[in-house]
Amino acid sequence: MVGCGKMGSALLSQWVKGDETITVVDPMAAGLPDGVRLVGDRDQIEGESFDCIVAAIKPQMIDDVMADYAANLAPGGYVLSIAAGYSADRLSRLMGDAPVVRTMPNLPAAVGKGVSGLCPGPHAGEVHMAHAEAFMRRAGIVITVESEDRLDRVTAVAGSGPGYVFEIARAYAEAAMAQGFSEDEAREMVLGTIGGAIAMANEPDAPMLEELRNSVTSKGGTTAAGLEALNGDNGLSDRLHATLQAAYDRAVELR
């Protein structure tokens, strides 16, 4: 793994549950899981070969850093990139036409609840994709897509999604505090309510989301009044559509 920032660390916390030997190259990394080998720079792995090289550095650093690692890729190996906005084709050419698989994870991977998009790049075969999918499934759900444009859309929905959820939860808790609850009480109620609702929706054979909403909405009741204020004018729906479109548009700009 080249680089180990916040997302790399999140994935690493789950990847170490397998049988692989993982080496991280990062001069700034600290507090890595037991069993991970940490080196400060590429010189320390000169002459070594790896079946998979994970590009986990910032996209703007790839041109200056990753080409040197082409010599470390074992025959039949591949590159797994978690770098947003850097195309698989560019990375493959940079690393001597190496097979590349791109993935876009999200931060709940740190607790094994992530959602990751997976997309085959140049020269990536079935064996590479199978390994990448198995690797990413340790961190949560995997959605395989056929193009990098679709991967950008996964980024808009899931990659950036935890930020939207945290912001909604923050605003929800702030509104609860305005009703007279302490910060701790508001946080407990809001996160408990969100978590419980999600658990219900994830039950086997759970109804559609619209049905679940209707099941707690009595005509003329408190929930109906609250939902009318929340989205009676489709304002929430419109805002969420705009949110995903803005994130997707930005992902396209970063290509």
3-state secondary structure of 50: strand
pLDDT band for 243, please (50, 70, 90 cuts): very high
3-state secondary structure labels for all residues of 90-144: HHHHHCCCCCEEEEECCHHHHHCCEEEEEEECCCCCHHHHHHHHHHHHCCEEEEE
Q: Would you state the structure tokens that stand for residue 143, as one six-digit string? A: 């959605």
Residue 157 DSSP class:
I
Taken in order of first residue, the domains within the chain and their CATH numbers are: 6-159 (3.40.50.720), 161-253 (1.10.3730.10)
Bridge pairing between strands 100-104 and 114-120: antiparallel
Q: What's residue 239's pLDDT?
A: 97
Cα 105 to Cα 243: distance, rounded to the nearest angstrom: 19
Would you say how long the chain is, in residues?
A: 255
Mean pLDDT of 172-188: 98
Residue 31, pLDDT score: 86
pLDDT for the residue numbered 94 = 96
Give residue 142's pLDDT band: very low, low, confident or very high (50, 70, 90): very high
Task: State the average pLDDT for the chain.
Answer: 95
Of the listed ranges 21-35, 64-78, 152-166, 208-222, the one predicted with least confidence: 21-35
Does the pLDDT of residue 185 top 90, yes or no? yes
Tell me how crowded residue 154 is: count the other CB atoms within 10 A of its CB: 25
State residue 164's pLDDT score.
98
pTM of the model as a whole: 0.90
For residue 156, the 8-state DSSP code is: I
pLDDT digits (tens, 9 = 90+) for 33-88: 988 999 999 999 999 999 999 999 998 999 999 999 999 999 999 999 999 889 99
- Sign for the pseudo-dihedral over CA of 88, 93, 94, 99: positive
Q: Tell me, what DSSP letter sits at residue 150?
A: H
Check: CB of residue 23 under 8 Å from CB of residue 50.
Answer: yes
Give SS3 for 179: coil
Between CA 141 and CA 53, with CA 36 as vertex, the angle to 5 degrees is 65
Whether the pLDDT of residue 176 is over 80: the answer is yes
pLDDT computed for residue 30 by the predictor: 84
Tokens standing for 28? 């700034």
pLDDT of the residue at 84? 85
